[in-house]
A = this chain, B = another copy of it.
Amino acid sequence: MRHVADRAGVSYQTVSRVINDADGVAPQTRERVLAAMRDLNYRPSVAARSLARARTDTIGLVLPFPVDVTFANAHFLQTIGGVDRVVAENDYSLLVSSPDDEDPALSAHRRMVRRRAVDGVIVEAGMGDEGIELLIEAGYPVVAIGHVAAAVPSVRPDDESGAYSATQHLLALGHRRIALIAGSAPDNLAQQARLRGCRRAGTDAGLPLDEDLIATGEFSLESGHEAAARLFDRDVPPTAVLAFNDAMAIGAMRLLRERGIDVPREVSVVGFDDTPTAALLTPALTTVRIFSSELGQRAARTLIGMLRGTKVPPVPAVLPSQLVVRQSTAPVPARRG
């Protein structure tokens, strides 16, 4: 309905100029056009615009899990919050796609590819990389958040060194029986990096970790609770627990409280992520901070940069992680008997 708009005197390409505030349009003409647009309550059509410009100003976000489970994880919550902010600041829209039940590994990507509706895609690493390959084949610029093997730019926390320093911290406090509550997907790269960090800290200190003390959970509070239950049912229970996210650490703390085991006097607990609630617990949780929101922001900025023509090499940007020592860790209690 642009011929309606040029009822305001001029011909409709001039209106286009005004909209894209290109130069080469007289101030008064501009005013006239703007007024007409306002009067007629005119909104340009993105469809036509993106057809002509061959871009949509929309970026896609593919989630590793259904919306309700993805966002239940505080880390994803934060990263995606960061993405959203940057995306909005730069006047892009955000199109989300989440996997369905039938094909968790690929459906979200596939849906994103099928309709050519976005300029680029941010993917939260979670499952394998086949989905990412799909997107690349389809010609999308892609940046990943988290640990991926695919040859795309990515941003991720330094999982290994985070795990390393957390373990080191516990070792320094005298702990020898350190339990891990890891994730249950052995092929997850972030998971592997963290395990590597833990083990390396052990061997570096000449005190290798007890592999029997590795339990797994689903990154939920409940699964942390259950994993802790298994660990503390053992004949010789651990004196410290390092969980691979805060939710599981909180679950473990809950179990310890139920069993009347004091944290940190009897058992130390360390989390991962530094969720907002970590600081508010009693005792406040010692945890590895990974700057989730920054991760998301950085990913979004990288992608937008790529869309604007910046060449970005397909290497991961690694953001440092940082151990935040609070009240849930303490020296190992003196051995009795």
Do A111 and B88 have beta carbons less than 8 Å apart?
yes
Decide: A84 and B66 in contact? CB cutoff 8 A: yes
Contacts of A89 in B (CB 8 A): 100
List residues of chain B with CB within 8 A of the CB of A84: 66-68, 96, 98
Interface residues on chain A, size class: 35 or more
- A222 contacts the other chain (CB 8 A): yes
Chain B neighbourhood of A41, CB < 8 A: 137-138
Question: Are B88 and A100 in contact, with the CB atoms below 8 A?
Answer: yes
Q: Is A258 an interface residue (CB 8 A)?
A: yes
> Which residue of chain B is the closest to A79 with respect to CB atoms?
B68
Residues of B within 8 Å of A221, CB to CB, are: 277, 280
**Chain B residues positioned under 8 Å from A66 (CB to CB):** 81, 84-85
Stretch from A43-51, A122-130, A179-187, A233-241 forming part of the interface with B: A43-51
Which residues of chain B have C-beta atoms less than 8 A from A95's C-beta?
Answer: 58, 93-96
- Which residues of the other chain, B, contact A44 by a CB distance below 8 angstroms? 115-116
Q: Would A68 and B93 count as touching, CB distance under 8 A?
A: no
Interface status of A282 (Cβ within 8 A of chain B) = yes
> What mask results when residues 87 to 124 of chain A are scored 1 for a CB within 8 Å of chain B, else 0?
01100011111101000000000010111110000000
Asked whether, in the complex, the Cβ of B43 is within 8 Å of the Cβ of A114, the reply is yes
Interface code A275-286, partner B: CB below 8 Å = 1, 0 otherwise?
001001010000
Q: Which of A13-56 contact B (CB under 8 A)?
A: 41, 43-48, 50-51, 56
* Neighbouring B residues of A47 by C-beta, 8 Å: 46-48, 50-51, 56, 116-117
Tell me the minimal C-beta distance from A107 to chain B in angstroms: 8
- A115's partner among B57, B81, B85, B117 (CB-CB below 8 A) is B57
Nearest CB of chain B from residue A330's CB, rounded to whole Å? 20
CB distance from A34 to the nearest CB of B (A): 15
Contacts of A78 in B (CB 8 A): 68
Q: For A114, what are the chain B residues with a Cβ–Cβ distance below 8 Å? A: 43
Q: Which residues of B contact A57 (CB under 8 A)?
A: 115
Q: Are B88 and A77 touching (Cβ within 8 A)? A: no
Cβ of A12 within 8 Å of any chain B Cβ, yes or no, is no
Contact with B along A288-305 (1 / 0, CB 8 A): 000001000000000000
A318 beta carbon closer than 8 Å to chain B: no
Question: When the two chains form their complex, are residues A222 and B280 in contact, meaning their CB atoms are under 8 A apart?
Answer: yes
Q: Can you name 24 A-B residue pairings with CB atoms under 8 Å?
A: A41-B137, A43-B116, A43-B138, A44-B116, A46-B115, A46-B116, A47-B47, A47-B51, A47-B56, A47-B117, A67-B81, A67-B84, A69-B81, A72-B77, A84-B96, A85-B100, A88-B100, A93-B95, A94-B95, A94-B97, A95-B95, A95-B96, A222-B280, A258-B282
